[in-house]
């Protein structure tokens, strides 16, 4: 079972790498190629048609700014700066501030860090659960509790939405389960009809 879970996690990682490659190809790379073509045209026009050259230069400047924005967004999606710099607690607080519903975050291990891969897995798991609460559960409030005890990182995300969430093939929760399985972590969901929904994550790890 563990071998299958880890194989699924490897498949998920490979799919994520393909997504990153596709985003780079269709986004920033395409903009940079277009910008290079514009700069070549500008070089040819700079003396013959200065007005047109200035127009293309403005377009190239905008393309460079758009490419930079897309690269920053892509990097943030891979590993958010706040997670790398300030740890899981503050990164989850930042996530909660971005959701359009009321939120409350409690962390009992501020100042201590788990290994970077564990923090990343936990962060993206919480992000997915919050997305579900907003998009699918119809919740208007969410509570996030992060604790560490007995060598285990424990996270509970509770919302007051309509309930009915379950772990199923192709769902975001199934993806979380595969991600946690890489670290021998587990996912549990309690979501009766009418709510509330509580998603619990446990990952064995040490803090430093």
Q: What are the two backbone dihedrals, phi and then psi, of residue 114, each rounded to the nearest 5 degrees?
A: -90, 175
The pLDDT of residue 99: 86
| Residue 204, CA atoms < 13 Å, CB-side half-sphere | 5
Report how far residue 88's alpha carbon sits from residue 146's, in angstroms, rounded to the nearest whole number: 9
Question: What are the domain boundaries of the chain?
Answer: 2-78, 85-204
> Dihedral (C-alpha) 56, 61, 62, 67: value to the nearest 10 degrees?
120
pLDDT tens, position by position, for the chain (208 residues)?
545 555 555 455 555 566 566 666 656 776 787 788 888 889 889 888 989 888 888 888 888 887 777 777 666 666 778 888 899 999 999 989 888 899 999 999 988 999 988 998 899 899 889 988 888 888 999 999 999 999 999 999 999 999 999 887 556 788 888 888 889 999 999 999 999 999 999 999 999 8
The pLDDT of residue 192: 94
The residue length of the chain stands at: 208
The pLDDT of residue 23: 60
CA 74 from chain centre, in angstroms, equals 10
Cβ count within 10 A of residue 113: 16
Q: Are strands 186-190 and 141-149 parallel, antiparallel or unpaired?
A: unpaired
85-204 maps to CATH 2.40.50.140: no
3-class secondary structure, 190: strand
The pLDDT of residue 37: 82
The pLDDT of residue 193: 93
DSSP 27-54: IIIHHHHHHHHHHHHHHHHTTT-HHHHH
């Amino acid at each position: 079972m563990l071998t299958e879970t880890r194989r699924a996690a490897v498949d998920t990682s490979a799919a994520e790498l393909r997504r990153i490659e596709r985003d780079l190809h269709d986004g920033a790379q395409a903009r940079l190629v277009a910008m290079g073509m514009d700069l070549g045209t500008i070089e040819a026009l700079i003396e013959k048609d200065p007005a047109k050259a200035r127009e293309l230069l403005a377009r190239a400047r905008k393309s460079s700014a758009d490419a930079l924005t897309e690269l920053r967004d892509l990097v943030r999606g891979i590993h958010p700066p706040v997670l790398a710099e300030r740890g899981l607690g503050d990164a989850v607080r930042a996530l909660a501030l971005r959701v359009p519903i009321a939120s409350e975050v409690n962390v009992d291990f501020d100042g201590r860090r788990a290994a970077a891969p564990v923090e990343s897995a936990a962060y993206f798991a919480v992000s997915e659960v919050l997305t579900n609460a907003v998009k699918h559960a119809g919740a208007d409030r969410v509570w996030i509790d992060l604790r560490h005890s007995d060598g285990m990182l424990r996270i509970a995300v509770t919302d007051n939405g309509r309930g009915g969430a379950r772990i199923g093939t192709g769902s975001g929760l199934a993806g979380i389960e595969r991600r946690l399985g890489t670290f021998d972590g587990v996912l549990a969901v309690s979501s009766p009809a009418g709510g509330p929904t509580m998603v619990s994550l446990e990952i064995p790890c040490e803090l430093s």
